[in-house]
């Protein structure tokens, strides 16, 4: 049984998520703020964290950073705001997904399920994809740009890997969302745009390997 930590200062939100998560077969523990979440992660192991951003004591971003110092746990963040800054900052910290309140509990659990399924898939062994100074080490799930390790979130790596293994193929936005995230975005594809933006920044001079196909999606050219 997967164990999820739900972190939110609103008890009704925690109870709602617990209800749906337990229905899906997950074990659930709760924390009322970021500080409590950090302490719980120091003494317990969790398979997934659902974390609110705006909380007393310690906000979700700060708590995420502290947890990431010692543990690599898949994480989804909740926010009452939908600003691009929040999404970008969260993805830079390495979160896997971002959901704006109010949200559909069913959709939330679909996202959790998809992330956990993909986190437990093993990639190809001892394979390196090389495009000049851009190297994708699929066995270690690490990307190098001219010999230096690129700072990518887990989802950023998955997106780059999928684009690269389909080099030269036009990939629609819907195809990328389905294959990389594994669920329907219900029309909100800003998350894909944000990851592409962060990915291009991390690739530096190889940013142009990701070509925008207006009205269609993206294509990788190495």
Q: How confident is the model at residue 90 (pLDDT cuts 50, 70, 90)?
A: confident
CA distance 97 to 147: 29
pLDDT tens, residue by residue, 148-191: 999 888 888 989 999 999 999 999 988 898 888 775 554 456 78
Average pLDDT, the chain: 88
30 in helix, strand or coil?
strand
User: pTM of the predicted model, to two decimals?
Assistant: 0.64
So what's the pLDDT on residue 111?
A: 87
Residue range 32-40: mean pLDDT, rounded:
96
CA distance 13 to 16: 5
So what's the pLDDT on residue 184?
A: 52
Q: Which pair of structure tokens corresponds to residue 187? A: 């029309």
**CB-based contacts of 197: which residues, under 8 Å, 6+ apart?**
88
**CB-based contacts of 13: which residues, under 8 Å, 6+ apart?**
52, 78, 101
Instruction: Give Rg (Cα) of the chain.
Output: 18
Q: Which pair of structure tokens corresponds to residue 6? A: 């739900």
Residue range 51-68: mean pLDDT, rounded:
92
Residue range 132-152: mean pLDDT, rounded:
90
């Amino acid at each position: 049984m997967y164990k999820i930590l739900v972190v939110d200062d609103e008890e009704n939100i925690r109870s709602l998520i617990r209800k749906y998560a337990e229905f899906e077969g997950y074990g659930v523990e709760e924390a009322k703020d970021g500080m409590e979440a950090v302490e719980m992660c120091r003494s317990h192991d969790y398979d997934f964290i659902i974390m609110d951003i705006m909380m007393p004591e310690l906000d979700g971003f700060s708590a995420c950073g502290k947890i990431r110092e010692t543990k690599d746990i898949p994480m989804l963040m909740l926010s009452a705001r939908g600003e691009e800054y929040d999404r970008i900052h969260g993805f830079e910290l390495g979160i896997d997904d971002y959901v704006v309140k109010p949200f559909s509990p069913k959709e939330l659990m679909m996202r959790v399920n998809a992330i956990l399924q993909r986190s437990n898939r093993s990639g190809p062994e001892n394979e390196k994809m090389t495009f000049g100074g851009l190297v994708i080490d699929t066995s270690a799930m690490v990307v190098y740009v001219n010999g230096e390790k690129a700072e990518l979130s887990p989802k950023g790596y998955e997106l780059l890997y999928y684009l690269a293994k389909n080099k030269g193929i036009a990939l629609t936005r819907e195809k990328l969302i389905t294959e990389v995230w594994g669920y329907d975005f219900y029309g909100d594809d800003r998350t894909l745009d944000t990851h592409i933006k962060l990915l291009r920044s991390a690739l530096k001079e190889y940013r142009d390997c990701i070509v925008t196909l207006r009205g269609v999606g993206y294509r990788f050219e190495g």
